[in-house]
Structure 1
Amino acid sequence: MRKLSGHHHISMLTKNGKRNNDFYTKILGLRRVKKTVNQDSPSMYHLFYGDLTGAAGTELTFFEMPVAGRTVRGTNAITCIGLLVPSYDSLVFWKKRFELLEVQHSEIMTYAGKDALSFEDHEGLRMVLINHHNQETPADWQVWESSEIPVEHRILGMGTVEITVRYLSRTVKLLQELFHYTVVTENDKEVRLQSIEGETLGEVIVKELEGPSEKPGRGSIHHLALRVATVEELQQWDALIKARGLESTGVVDRYYFQSLYFRDRNGILFEMATDGPGFTVDSSVEDLGKGLDLPPFLEGKRAEIEAILEPLE
């Protein structure tokens, strides 16, 4: 069994797809690589943002839920997303940009041992830009040339993901013992682990916090997806998850990738997703994210679905 090759994507809730699209494309300069629907509830958008092709490890995804209320922060939740930027100068660029565009942000600080800049989107989703020190990124991460952000400061992909739980050891042991994460730093209340030793792009911080569980709403994080190369490996992981006494959905065909879902003993929802076939399975690279793409089993309901969805542009 090979080790996991980092994060695949991370999924959040948004109240309004149009405002969400504006923030992530116009303020953060990401490419909308797929405009589709929640396959389990096709009356709502599922929006994907990332690099040129939405490569695994670059994807931020959002389910639009118009009835979403306010998030009540608490424990047993994924609580912050790290995004890698090339350099310290990039952090300076983004701080000035956030000031100009009135995005809530911190001063440049230290996070997970690196220079960083924390910020929130318009719905209170907590994120942090992390200095990647001009290190190499995966070969399949490709620059989207049409972004208005200068290439030397663009968001590269996902970095450290923060998880807050009531019982620290439950989540840490799962990551260590089942998925072979390496502990980088630890104390009584916080453990930092990496799926690829020395690489921030597969890093997780687990923090312990007593109190009530988070009540999800707009700007909350729904799940973290871990990157798996093939369906065969996914099936092997499914067996190992079940052997550990955890419930798994089994392999689910999401058309753009194959997935499975499970919760750890703190209730954190994880997905495991394959690299392929990817978002170009039903679109050219040039046309990614422009039209409404539907998996084949929903294509017959296109007119009905399009009548419900509010246009994003």
Structure 2
Amino acid sequence: MFKIPGHHHISMITKNASLNNHFYRHVLGLRRVKVTVNQDDPSMYHLFYGDKTGSPGTELSFFEIPLVGKTYRGTNAITRIGLLVPSEDSLHYWKARLEEYGVKHSDITTYSNHPALKFEDPEGLRLVLIVSNGEKVEHWETWEKSEVPVEHQIQGMGSVEITVRRLDRLASTLTDMFGYTEISRTDDEVIFQSIKGEVFGEIVVKYLDGPSEKPGRGSIHHLAIRVKNEEELTYWEEQVRTRGFHSSGIVDRFYFKSLYFRESNGILFEIATDGPGFTIDGDIETLGEKLDLPPFLEERRAEIEENLKPIEEY
């Protein structure tokens, strides 16, 4: 059986690409590694932020939907994203930085048994900075031009929180199908890790009854988990179907290959290959500086660019 090495990326909804761009680049200090479009609906931006090259495990991605409404929070949703920082000193740095920029945040606390600092982005997306204690995605690369000092830079994704009505159904999918290890359990929270002892593949599952979340700006669309290559992806496609889940089949996203399925609570998972990555159509020095399109959309570039509102820098 193949092993899931951790998260690949996570995708959210934003109403305003310019506001989103300012927050994730200039407040959080991430690199914008790709400006592209939703391949299923090229009228909307698809923005990716991460480390120097947008390595798997560091990528935060956003679809811009200008007419989207607010999020009505509830259950059966991905409800918080953990971001790794190097030390407890980093939490104090970030607390001061978030205060400087007027970002809503908590006091320094703990989350999934790690020192942590909860905060929200301008659209109410819930995030938490988690001390990694040296754990980070092995291929994470410093972004030298970040506005955040190297010793406090975000080092990729940590715990991802999923809130569901049927906790044991999701637990079964994670452990029995994907081979995650259960780390801890209470009546209303279970923590799983794809690699035991490593927070960069951690999923925190919380139990909550009640109405399902109604997604909108600041909501999380799906979580993508990593596989090395198409051979592994084909293996997981068979596992997904064997367990009775409907699969999208393997989809070529140009920057990686993927498949999508919803587990029993309706949570959308993507399984995505590590490569070829964002440098397939750009060099490292200029990643994310212009609109990149996959080859099958290139002939529509003029039409697509005309329909996109330029992203403003401020």
Q: Same fold (TM over 0.5)?
A: yes
- Equivalent position SS for 2:98: helix
1:258 aligned onto 2:251: no
Output the CA distance in 1 between the equivalents of 2:162 and 2:226: 17
- Mapping for residues 37-52 of structure 1, pairs under 5 Å: 37-52=37-52
- Equivalent position SS for 2:192: strand
Paired residues of 2:118 and 2:127 also in contact (CA < 8 A): yes
- Mapping for residues 1-313 of structure 1, pairs under 5 Å: 1-133=1-133, 135-313=134-312
1:136 is displaced (CA, Å) by: 4.4
> Cα 1:52–1:41, aligned 2, differ >3 Å: closer, same or farther?
same
**Cα shift readout 1:263-299 (whole Å, capped 9, x = no counterpart):** 0000000000000000000000001000100000000
Output the CA distance in 1 between the equivalents of 2:268 and 2:137: 26
RMSD: 0.6
Normalised by the size of structure 1, how large is the TM-score? 0.99
1:140 is displaced (CA, Å) by: 1.6
Output the CA distance in 1 between the equivalents of 2:161 and 2:39: 27
Output the CA distance in 2 between the equivalents of 1:67 and 1:259: 28
Unaligned stretches of 5+ residues in structure 1? none
Output the CA distance in 2 between the equivalents of 1:26 and 1:60: 15
Output the CA distance in 1 between the equivalents of 2:100 and 2:135: 30
1:310 is displaced (CA, Å) by: 1.0
**Cα shift readout 1:25-78 (whole Å, capped 9, x = no counterpart):** 010000000000000000000000000000000000000000110000000000
Unaligned stretches of 5+ residues in structure 2? none
1:137 is displaced (CA, Å) by: 2.6
1:138 is displaced (CA, Å) by: 3.2
1:240 is displaced (CA, Å) by: 0.7
- Equivalent position SS for 1:197: coil
Paired residues of 2:137 and 2:155 also in contact (CA < 8 A): no
Output the CA distance in 2 between the equivalents of 1:99 and 1:308: 36
Output the CA distance in 2 between the equivalents of 1:137 and 1:164: 25
**Cα shift readout 1:4-25 (whole Å, capped 9, x = no counterpart):** 0000000000001111000100
Output the CA distance in 1 between the equivalents of 2:78 and 2:135: 27
1:251 is displaced (CA, Å) by: 0.3
Output the CA distance in 2 between the equivalents of 1:253 and 1:129: 32
- Equivalent position SS for 1:149: coil
**Cα shift readout 1:112-171 (whole Å, capped 9, x = no counterpart):** 0010000000000000000112x1433321111000101000000000000000111010
Q: What residue identity is the alignment partner of 2:237?
A: D
1:189 is displaced (CA, Å) by: 1.2
Output the CA distance in 1 between the equivalents of 2:143 and 2:208: 39
Paired residues of 2:86 and 2:151 also in contact (CA < 8 A): yes
- Equivalent position SS for 1:108: strand
